[in-house]
Structure 1
Amino acid sequence: MPHIPISPALQRFRVLDLSRVRAGPTCVRMLADFGADVIRIEPPPGIDPNEAMFAADRWNGDFQNLNRNKRSLTLNLKREEGREVLRSLVEQADVVVENWRPDVKARLGVDYESLRAINPRIILASISGFGQDGPYARRPGFDQIVQGMGGLMSVTGLPGQGPVRAGLAVADSSTGLYTALGILTALLEREVSGEGQWVHASLLHAQIAMMDFQAARYLNDGDVPVQEGNDHPTSCPMGLFAANDGTFNLGAAGEGNWKRFCLVLGRQDWLDDADYATEKLRVRHRRKLNEVIQEVFREQSVAHWVDLLNAAGVPAGPVYSVPQMFEDPQVQHLQAARTVQAWQGGERTLISQPVTLTRTPAAIARTAPGWGEHTDEVLREAGYDDAAIARLHAEGVV
């Protein structure tokens, strides 16, 4: 079936998705969920030696979540005929997204200058591990490698235990979101200039940007961030505490929260203690303060403290497992998980867009496509007749 926009927000744009793994598909999913016509272009079976990792298991939740709302076209870009098909698609497209090495782009004619010669309005979005040029430009980049090089692993974990990987793909996901923002900015600018441009982002730079206040502290104050475990590096009391039936997070940072915290616990004496008079002093005396707070918290349950503190305007929350997270009433109210009918029967439950537009919201209309499910219809839209499509199939181009 042809593309049916699921949201009017981006329905006028066509995106060719040549990316794989996580950062690129994350970027393109953002556009697809808001109605862009996304065509996922991937090699036919047997062409990519890594297809078992990137394309073969299409029913698993991760693949489904990353590639919902897209159509699929198989195309062998190692063949000139395949590259010719791609050029015909570029003529009608607004955005191309890829995550190839710079030399591969040039060899296949997917570098910006080559695409611009076909369509001056095209926006090429390139995602790499380390950048489009420079000493590491040709290095392969994976999330965990960049978590280490981007400083994240040095501040994650308990003090003294050594570097720890964050439990989610921070570099991949943030790069995808930054790239989507770059694409949308370029589309807005194109409305003024009439011209496309090259948008590129790297996992390394995105990871450094995600270090945010930790990196800025070092650059401006010479303060080298280290592992603080569950404590906040610059605020106190803020961290993980034990109740009599589990653990919960407390966020009593800032003078207002600190005062409300002491009063709701009936501990005016903490407000009068000179060691806790300012945030900096509370951080300096963190160990002693955490110990006296912990003595109080062991007397009641997690639910008791979370309800009491939030009622007083002091941030606090439980520590959930993933199943517990989805059972939370607020998570269910937000409809963070959406169930959609799958193309091969059955259903898949996917994570909804966390950004809400009140008039043109995102939606999940269909699961990830079958391998090459929409090849013929996309080719017809590009002007190929049935005989030409049959020849491309027979010759292994699609």
Structure 2
Amino acid sequence: MDAAASALRHWHRPRSAPVSGAHHASIAPYGPFRCGNGATVHLAVQNEPQWTRLCEQVLRRPELAVDPRFTTVASRVDHRDELHSELQRTFDGLTAEELLLALDTADVPAARTRDVLGLADHPQLAARDRWREVPTPGGAQARMLRPPVDATHWSWSPTPVPRLGQHTGEVLRWLGYDDQSARELHEKGVV
């Protein structure tokens, strides 16, 4: 939670925000939830219409939308553990793909939570042509992610992966070392 949100919460609800881990401290349900297939979906319910659609269309439990523990964002935060238990009852029976399809159909913000390898294989990166192959000193190719922004006034052309030590002299000069100091670092095995 950022400082401004924390201060506003304190002024309007005179107590400290709870520790919430990966979940949002002042919005619920907002954060990662485990699905039945072990994958994780990040849910981002930020207002009452989204909450109602989640209850009615995804959970198929419209009574939760009017349950006094859950009718407002603040009450959902106050009853976070109970809320998460109610959600988990449904999420345990769904794969991430099934849950994401239901959330998308209900217009409830969510995304699959991915690990690093899952991010590397994200279909949107392939669809946006974000990967390039660059040569390595050993002759193999390495995948490299393009910069996140394309621009019309410049283009990105990756250079081959450098050999170990290939740019050490340039880096040392950039850091302010003269040739003699750089030689001493080499002789001592520092670089």
Query: Could you report, residue by residue, the CA deviation over 1:96-154 in whole angstroms, capped at 9, with x for unpaired residues?
Result: xxxxxxxxxxxxxxxxxxxxxxxxxxxxxxxxxxxxxxxxxxxxxxxxxxxxxxxxxxx
Match of 2:3 among 215, 240, 252: 215
1:340 corresponds to which letter in structure 2? Answer: V
**2:30 is aligned with 1:242:** no
Give the match for residue 301 of structure 1.
Answer: 95
**2:112 is aligned with 1:318:** yes
SS of corresponding position for 2:41: strand
**Distance apart, 1:344 and its partner CA:** 6.4
Instruction: Describe the shift of the 1:327–1:300 C-alpha distance in structure 2 as closer, same or farther (beyond 3 A).
Output: same
Residues paired across the two proteins, number: 167
Are the aligned partners of 2:17 and 2:26 in contact in 1 as well (CA < 8 Å)? no
**Distance apart, 1:279 and its partner CA:** 0.9
Give the match for residue 346 of structure 1.
Answer: 140
Q: Runs of 5+ in structure 2 lacking a partner?
A: 171-178, 185-191
2:77 corresponds to which letter in structure 1? Answer: V
Match of 1:366 among 155, 159, 177: 159
**Distance apart, 1:243 and its partner CA:** 2.1
**2:70 is aligned with 1:276:** yes
Supply the RMSD in Å over aligned alpha carbons.
Answer: 3.0
Query: Whole-Å Cα distance in 1 between the matches of residues 167 and 33 of structure 2?
Result: 51
Are the aligned partners of 1:343 and 1:366 in contact in 2 as well (CA < 8 Å)? no
2:69 corresponds to which letter in structure 1? Answer: D
SS of corresponding position for 1:281: helix
Are the aligned partners of 1:235 and 1:279 in contact in 2 as well (CA < 8 Å)? yes
Query: Whole-Å Cα distance in 2 between the matches of residues 323 and 314 of structure 1?
Result: 26
1:338 corresponds to which letter in structure 2? Answer: R
**Distance apart, 1:225 and its partner CA:** 5.5
Instruction: Describe the shift of the 1:280–1:219 C-alpha distance in structure 2 as closer, same or farther (beyond 3 A).
Output: closer
Are the aligned partners of 1:340 and 1:364 in contact in 2 as well (CA < 8 Å)? no
Give the match for residue 231 of structure 1.
Answer: 23
- Percent of aligned pairs with the same residue? 23
TM-score, normalising length from structure 2? Answer: 0.71
Query: Whole-Å Cα distance in 1 between the matches of residues 9 and 57 of structure 2?
Result: 35
Query: Whole-Å Cα distance in 2 between the matches of residues 372 and 269 of structure 1?
Result: 65
**Distance apart, 1:237 and its partner CA:** 0.9
Query: Whole-Å Cα distance in 2 between the matches of residues 283 and 226 of structure 1?
Result: 9
Instruction: Describe the shift of the 1:317–1:217 C-alpha distance in structure 2 as closer, same or farther (beyond 3 A).
Output: closer
Query: Whole-Å Cα distance in 2 between the matches of residues 360 and 311 of structure 1?
Result: 39
**Distance apart, 1:325 and its partner CA:** 2.2
Query: Whole-Å Cα distance in 2 between the matches of residues 330 and 338 of structure 1?
Result: 15
Paired residues for 1:115-126 under 5 Å? none
